[in-house]
Chains A and B, each alone.
Chain A
């Protein structure tokens, strides 16, 4: 009798767990799948290839992109970086580090509900130019700022 009850309970627990797992599995939208990641751009080893991966043909220097960051980074492993684009119709903002082995650090898709103002923290291996690349319509614009690094941040 005891044995029979235990068995049924175990079965109930197991089938509930399976049902929950299936429900969770079906809730993960495919939009979150890793497949959308821009491999060509992120694995590019030259600026030209990074631009190509991003679909950026020619980029014109623009005074309407603000790069807010310290001139000197005490710790290259954690360099705060903010970009604000005043270019109308901005749809994408990318952060590139010229002297990093993989130059593209981050890209942000600026949808209609977002202000073109994004901040993150990046690793810089050494003193380098930071390039912010802005896409507006089908044109590309850049702004550059040099950040000096006193202690390199790639841990190597």
Chain B
């Protein structure tokens, strides 16, 4: 769902720097709409990152993470041509996976 994540992964000096920009509303559940009804919480809850087939990072978020979340982390190792795969699941059970090649 939503737009594809923008993933940039660059390998240098034995470290692969990964930056991800995701597309998601990240509703806190505190906002009210025009009619006064509370907009339900809707946010990315779990994120998993893989380098090729190996899980390298897992993260859990609450609705305090900003809308259209940004995430950056550093993998030990990795090299040009490797694949970085990012997946997320939100609190409604919706999920998205995108991948990028390490440059």
Contacts and interface: CB of A to CB of B under 8 A. Distances in A.
| A-B complex is real | yes
Interface of A: 28, 31-34, 36-38, 42, 77-80, 82, 97, 100-102, 104-115, 117-123, 153-156
B19 to A, nearest CB: 8
B101 interface: no
A114 B72 CA distance: 11
B68 to A, nearest CB: 9
A109 B57 contact: yes
A111 B61 contact: no
15 contacts: A28-B95, A31-B48, A37-B45, A37-B60, A37-B91, A77-B67, A82-B72, A105-B61, A106-B60, A107-B59, A108-B59, A110-B57, A111-B55, A123-B64, A123-B66
CB-CB nearest 10 A-B residue pairs: A105-B64, A119-B72, A115-B74, A121-B66, A42-B62, A113-B56, A109-B58, A37-B45, A78-B66, A155-B31
A107 B57 contact: no
Contact of A120 (B31, B45, B71, B76): B71
B30 A101 contact: yes
B30 A155 contact: yes
A134 B73 CA distance: 16
A93 B51 CA distance: 20
A119 B91 contact: no
A27 B36 CA distance: 41
B46 to A, nearest CB: 6
Contact of B69 (A33, A107, A112, A120): A120
Given A37-B46, A120-B70, A100 B64 contact: yes
Interface string B22-43: 0000101011100000000000
B58 A34 contact: no
Nearest to B57: A114
B71 A119 contact: yes
A113 B49 CA distance: 11
Nearest to B31: A155
Given A77-B66, A82-B72, A106 B30 contact: no
Contacts of A115: 15, 73-76
A79 B64 CA distance: 10
Contact of B58 (A79, A100, A105, A111): A111
Most chain A C-beta atoms within 10 Å of own C-beta, residue among B28, B48, B77: B28
A33 B62 CA distance: 16
